[in-house]
Structure 1
Amino acid sequence: MFCVYTCSKTSGGHLNPAISLMFYTLGKLPLSHFFYYSIVQVLGAFVGTAFAYTVYLDQTHHVLGDLRIVAGPNGTAGLFTSMPAPHVSNTIAFWDQVIIILLYYKYIL
C-alpha cells in the first residue's frame, strides 16, 4: 500500500501494466501515458529485482556457492518473482494470473 500511496499523485498508483491496460481500454488513460507507464513499470521491476539480488547476494552465495539454481529446494528465482510449484501446469498458472488480474480490476474500479 505504501507504493500505491507514494505513486498515486503522479501515475494514479498504476504499479502493474495490466492495470494501466485496463484504464486505457476504459478510456481513462491516453495511449501515450499507457506506453510510458508500462515502460517505466517494467524498468522499475528490473531495478527492484537488481536491488533484491544485491541484498540477498551474500546469503545465496553462502547457501549455493557459485551455483545459481532457478527452481527446486535451493532455487533462488523465488526471491525475485512468483513461480508456480513444479506440479502446477502452465494452463493452471495462466488462469491463476487471469483471475488475479480480474480481481484487481474489480476492486480498483
Structure 2
Amino acid sequence: MQINLGWGFTIMFCVYTCSKTSGGHLNPAISLMFYTLGKLPLSHFFYYSIVQVLGAFVGTAFAYTVYLDQTHHVLGDLRIVAGPNGTAGLFTSMPAPHVSNTIAFWDQVITILLYYKYIL
C-alpha cells in the first residue's frame, strides 16, 4: 500500500508541477496520443519525448545514488537483476518471471488505453 501511495503522490506532484508548461506529459505514449489527436505539434512531440527519456535516466541515476549504500551492504560489488536480492526493481518495473511476454504486452496496451480514456 505504501508503494502505491508513494507512486500515486509522485505522479500527482509531477503532473501538477509540469502542467502549466507542457500539459503534464510524463510519458512518451501520452505525448504521442496528443500528437496523433492534433493537440501537439511534431516538434514539441520530439522535444517532450527526448526530455521524458532523459528524465527517466536522471531519475534512475538519483535512485541508484540513494540506494547505493544499501545495495553495496547487501550484495557487495555483485549486481543481480532478479530474485530475492535483485536490485533491478529499484530502477524499473518488470513482470514476474512466470508472466509471458504476451501478457506483459497486453498489460501495457490496456494501461495506455486507460491513460487515454481518463486523460481525455
TM-score of the superposition, structure 1-length normalised?
0.99
Q: Which piece of structure 1 moves more, 66-75 or 18-27?
A: 66-75
Which residue does 2:5 correspond to in 1? none
| Unaligned runs of at least 5 residues, structure 1 | none
Matched, 1:91 2:102: yes
Inter-partner Cα distance in structure 1 for 2:106 and 2:85: 27
Q: CA deviation at 1:71?
A: 1.0
| Unaligned runs of at least 5 residues, structure 2 | 1-11
Structure 1's consecutive aligned runs of 4 or more residues displaced over 2 angstroms after TM superposition are: none
Q: CA deviation at 1:31?
A: 0.3
What percent identity do the matched residue pairs reach? 99
Q: Deviations over 1:47-105 (max 9, x none)?
A: 00000000000000011111000111111000001010000011111110010000000
CA RMSD of aligned residues (A): 0.4
Q: CA deviation at 1:37?
A: 0.1
Q: CA deviation at 1:27?
A: 0.3
Q: Which piece of structure 1 moves more, 72-81 or 15-24?
A: 72-81
Inter-partner Cα distance in structure 2 for 1:61 and 1:19: 36
Number of residue pairs aligned between Structure 1 and Structure 2: 109
Structure with greater contact order relative to length (CA < 8 Å, sep ≥ 6): 1
